[in-house]
Amino acid sequence: MQNIVIFGATGSIGVSTLEVIKLHPDKFSVFALTANNNVSLLYQQCLEFNPSYAYINGDAAARTLQQRLREANSNTQVLCKSEDLAYLAAHAEVDLIMSAIVGSAGLIPTYHAAKSGKKILLANKESLVAGGRIITDTAKFNHAQIIPVDSEHSAIFQALPYGYTSLDQIGVNKIILTASGGPFLNTPYAELCKVTAAQAVKHPNWSMGQKISVDSSTLMNKGLEVIEAYWLFNAKPTQIEVVVHPQSIIHSMVEYIDSSIIAQLGTPDMKTPIAYALSAPERISSGSKQLNFTNLKNLTFCDVDYVRFPCLKLALDALDESSNVAAVINAANEVAVAKFLANEHGFYDIPRMIETAIEKFAATTPTHIEELLLLDQEVKQYCARL
């Protein structure tokens, strides 16, 4: 029996993780659940899974949740202080964590889980985008294991030998990340200048939160995934390629030096990579629909249009382990997307704001988690004023 903390329990990844765990009550026990502000859903989850702890952001929300749980005769203790996330990630009774908080807020629990030698199921790509060197070095030093949850990185992880040391050693030529292209794959540039947030969050294949849906529409999500892959798989920039695959059936591929390509396929359902992350290198049932090849009409591929989707090019240019540009991109993008969702600026103001932030902060190089968090805060404050 493994004790798990789910950071971001009320988000789409958190909900899917609980659905998979529910299928395997003999293997996993929920030790703690965290949420930002969804008191109602967190309350229901606490009643169903009976965790020792629940975290909700804010004193008022915490008091409300604690009162409702007491009235329901629940023994779950409610936490709300910022340091409580680190406490839960490092708790001695915890075996693994699901890092699924959206944005750079996921850095803290991911870092402290790595520092404590936990098994980390990583759905919060921003942890490696912003803190790649810090997180990976901390994990390596403390013998923590990082298992990718993003469907693309899970696909690559499954197509590689388990426990390898380097891509060159096992004969990998390149890893190929597939991108759906989002809702605006075939939208002309002139129309993209006018698209709204309501249009951007309507992804054709995946059910996701608003922030990641906008990232998918700008292809910044794929850019962040490229940077994450760089750190996850110890890859060279020349070993990472992106190809657009609108059907989202092939989740990613690995090309070997003998020209063999190994791909992972499946229905677009996050429960599949979550189940593998929970059990790797073994397999457990996920509850996902099985892929029926006879129902597939076609599998198509095309190149990325970097003119219409400049966010991806910004991320590709940031592939440098000695640079902090990826951390700046991550922070600036969070603010730019929030402004777009609030209808404060347009689609192409997102890459423009990111470029402005890069020019301002490119010379800053954090080497510790505290410096990284300070840089993240400074970039966000700067972008909020733009």
CA distance 121 to 96: 7
pLDDT score for 321? 58
Of 30, 58, 57, 59, the residue nearest 45 (C-alpha): 30
pLDDT of residue 206: 59
DSSP state letters, 110-139: HHHHHHTT-EEEE--THHHHHHHHHHHHHH
**pLDDT tens per residue across all 386 residues of the chain:** 999 999 999 999 999 999 999 999 999 999 999 999 899 999 999 999 999 999 999 899 999 999 999 999 999 999 999 899 999 999 999 999 999 998 778 889 999 999 999 999 999 888 888 888 899 999 999 999 999 999 999 999 999 988 788 898 999 999 999 998 888 988 999 999 999 888 888 866 656 678 888 998 999 999 999 999 999 998 999 999 999 999 888 999 999 999 999 999 988 889 999 999 999 999 999 988 888 888 888 899 999 999 999 999 999 998 865 668 999 999 999 999 999 999 999 999 999 999 999 999 987 777 888 888 899 999 999 999 98
CATH class for the domain made up of 2-148: alpha beta
Q: What is the pLDDT of residue 13?
A: 93
> Which pLDDT score is estimated for 319?
85
Q: What are the sequence ranges of the domains in the chain? A: 2-148, 155-306, 322-386
Give the whole-angstrom CA distance, residue 128 versus residue 329.
12
Angle at 224 between CA 243 and CA 355, to 5 degrees: 105
| Omega before 281 within 30 of 0, i.e. cis | yes
